[in-house]
């Protein structure tokens, strides 16, 4: 066996080629026209003309302040000689947006390139919108975007200016080659299979220096490296259960009305992804979020209920929201499980078995007992990887509560619920996993949260290529219960962690927000007293609102 050799100059050429391929994945055909109807608060589709009217082009600013809203009316000429599946719209409104057909049908979301986001997790922009028949009217391009002047973290970026406004041709072979090479390079960089790495390097070295790329050349290169993409693992390897994810804080850096809109953008985009990729699985938790979508976006909710009956949509969690457990009382936690499980049973006919809280600031020692009483045997988190002093010692373990109750817990070994679905992160999770001697399975949640609309095409394209690629962990799209059932299948020797899961980060969060602490407790006492009065009122035929 010889050491992998990829000299610096040649590697730079291949890296440059990958950049070039992504730049050439779409060819702009023509610029579109845009008229905005701007308002301070969101307007319903049927009231979209009520905003202040302004005409816009690329570089123009449409918002005056963060969280301003606008309906953008996009029009243009339909290119001749192309089928819908050969075209896309390239759109960036300088904020977040939800695309609507002229008949009111919700399509998918867009997000801005300038949004804040952790660089190592990828780019947050979603600018590619698929072309459907209902985005035309009388042979002309004609559709709408419901926009908000904010990024993923509630900031106005670059004054909410229009950055992209085009219809473009898809260069499919060029795009496919870009993902092929991107994935193969991660094998070279992170795999332990030296023989396969050398085989990849040998093939890539034979690709000459390329400054221009076209359809035929892309086909030729893909044909040359095709056998590499089809190389499989010949033995059992570390396996990820992969689920698309769009983590959403329901009350954080933006108004609640924007939480609802972020949820709709995420769900619409993932419905579109499922339509495009039949093998893809997306999941979402929080009964409150589903309730908001049911109330405000019934056409989306109807599709979600249909998809939840298939293998593509994973209804997650057993609580009303992904709640804090440092501040609230045990009775409040019990109500979280009661109302969460009740909602999902009524709406989706599912008895939820997983306490799904990847992003809470620590977990009370009373939770395992409450989970056991609620018949919720599994717990999913990620947050304990954020410890700043002591490394949390487990990824798959039994969590034992104060009374000895135990639940099976799993902490994501990638240490994020925003995985970019890249080889470096896949190998990081495999190498991090502290229960490798007991289990060869872990969960991966990939995508962009908090308004990033979940996974983009790039996440799913890479996931497809990592399904079983030699030298890399296996990636299998499946629902969360399938993962936990495998984790729990006859295995009893997971380590035990007793007591509170104390997060060594974010200390003093509520001490600095003492009003939240004070009034939450007042509300809990008031609700308890009110409940005690209900039977007394009933006995004396006094009506109390419930």
Catalytic (active-site) positions: 359
Count CB atoms within 10 A of the CB of residue 210. 14
Helix axes of 194-205 and 8-23: crossing angle, nearest 10 degrees: 70
- Closest residue by Cα to residue 6 from 173, 187, 243, 239: 187
CB 106 within 8 A of CB 264: yes
- Pairwise CA distance, residues 250 & 258, whole Å: 9
CB 395 within 8 A of CB 413: yes
- Pairwise CA distance, residues 264 & 261, whole Å: 5
- Closest residue by Cα to residue 298 from 106, 143, 103, 110: 106
The encoded tokens of residue 354 equal 């997983």
The encoded tokens of residue 72 equal 């953008």
Place of tokens 């590499």: 228
User: Which secondary structure element, helix H or strand E, spans residue 263, and what is its range?
Assistant: helix 256-276
Q: Between the CA of residue 269 and those of 129, 145, 247, 272, what are the distances in Å?
A: 10, 13, 14, 5
State the pairing for strand pair 26-31/164-170: antiparallel
Long-range Cβ pairs for the range 7-14 (8 Å, 24+): 10/204, 10/205, 13/209, 13/210, 14/181, 14/185, 14/204, 14/207
CB 323 within 8 A of CB 336: yes
- Pairwise CA distance, residues 22 & 248, whole Å: 29
At residue 111's C-alpha, the angle toward residues 286 and 246, to 5°, is 25
DSSP state, 253?
Answer: S
CB 158 within 8 A of CB 95: no
Q: What is the CA radius of gyration of the chain?
A: 25
Main-chain dihedrals φ then ψ at residue 545, nearest 5 degrees: -65, 135
Phi-psi map region of 94: left, alpha, beta (phi>0 left; psi -120 to 50 alpha): left
- Pairwise CA distance, residues 372 & 405, whole Å: 7
At residue 78's C-alpha, the angle toward residues 271 and 61, to 5°, is 70
């Amino acid at each position: 066996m010889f050491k992998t050799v990829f000299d610096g100059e040649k590697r730079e050429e291949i890296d440059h080629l990958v950049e070039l391929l992504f730049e050439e994945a779409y060819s702009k055909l023509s610029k579109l026209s845009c008229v905005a109807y701007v308002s301070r608060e969101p307007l319903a589709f049927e009231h979209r003309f009520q905003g202040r009217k302004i005409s816009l082009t690329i570089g123009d600013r449409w918002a005056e302040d963060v969280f301003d809203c606008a309906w953008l009316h996009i029009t243009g000429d339909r290119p001749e000689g192309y089928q819908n599946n050969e075209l896309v719209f390239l759109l960036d409104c300088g904020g977040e947006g939800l695309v609507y057909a002229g008949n009111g049908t919700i399509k998918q979301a867009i997000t801005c390139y300038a949004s804040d986001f952790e660089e190592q997790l990828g780019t947050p922009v979603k600018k590619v919108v698929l072309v459907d028949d209902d985005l035309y009217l009388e042979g002309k391009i004609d559709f709408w975007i419901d926009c908000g002047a904010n990024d993923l973290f509630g900031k106005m970026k670059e004054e909410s200016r229009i950055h992209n406004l085009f219809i473009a041709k898809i260069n499919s072979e060029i795009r496919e080659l870009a993902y092929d090479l991107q994935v193969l390079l991660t094998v070279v960089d992170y795999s332990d299979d030296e023989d396969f790495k050398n085989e990849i390097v040998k093939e890539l070295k034979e690709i000459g220096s390329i400054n221009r790329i076209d359809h035929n050349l892309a086909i030729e290169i893909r044909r040359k490296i095709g056998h590499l993409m089809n190389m499989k693992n010949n033995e059992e390897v570390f396996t990820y259960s992969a689920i698309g994810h769009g983590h959403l804080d329901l009350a954080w850096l933006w108004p609640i009305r924007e939480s609802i809109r972020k949820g709709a953008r995420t769900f619409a985009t993932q419905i579109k992804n499922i339509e495009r990729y039949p093998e893809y699985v997306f999941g979402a938790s929080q009964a409150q979020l589903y309730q908001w979508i049911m109330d405000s976006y019934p056409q989306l909710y109807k599709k979600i209920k249909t998809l939840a009956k298939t293998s593509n949509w994973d209804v997650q969690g057993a609580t009303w929201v992904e709640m804090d457990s440092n501040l609230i009382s045990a009775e409040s936690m019990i109500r979280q499980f009661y109302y969460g499980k009740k909602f999902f049973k009524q709406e989706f006919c599912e008895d939820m078995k997983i306490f799904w809280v990847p992003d809470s600031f620590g977990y009370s020692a009373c939770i395992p007992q409450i989970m056991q009483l609620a018949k919720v045997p599994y717990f999913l988190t990620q947050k304990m990887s954020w410890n700043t002093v002591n490394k949390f010692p487990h990824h798959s373990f039994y969590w034992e509560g104060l009374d000895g109750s135990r639940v099976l817990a799993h902490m994501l070994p990638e240490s994020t619920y925003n995985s970019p679905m890249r080889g470096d992160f896949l190998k990081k999770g495999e190498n991090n996993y502290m229960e490798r001697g007991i289990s060869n399975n872990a969960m991966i949640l990939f995508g962009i949260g908090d308004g990033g609309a979940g996974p983009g095409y790039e996440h799913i394209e890479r996931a497809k290529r990592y399904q079983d690629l030699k030298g890399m962990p296996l990636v299998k799209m499946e629902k969360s219960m399938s993962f936990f059932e495998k984790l729990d299948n006859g295995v009893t020797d997971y380590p035990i962690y007793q007591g509170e899961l104390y997060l060594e980060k974010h200390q003093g969060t509520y001490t600095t927000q003492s009003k939240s602490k004070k009034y939450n407790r007042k509300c809990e006492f008031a609700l308890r007293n009110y409940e005690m009065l209900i039977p007394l009122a009933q006995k004396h035929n006094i009506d109390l609102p419930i």
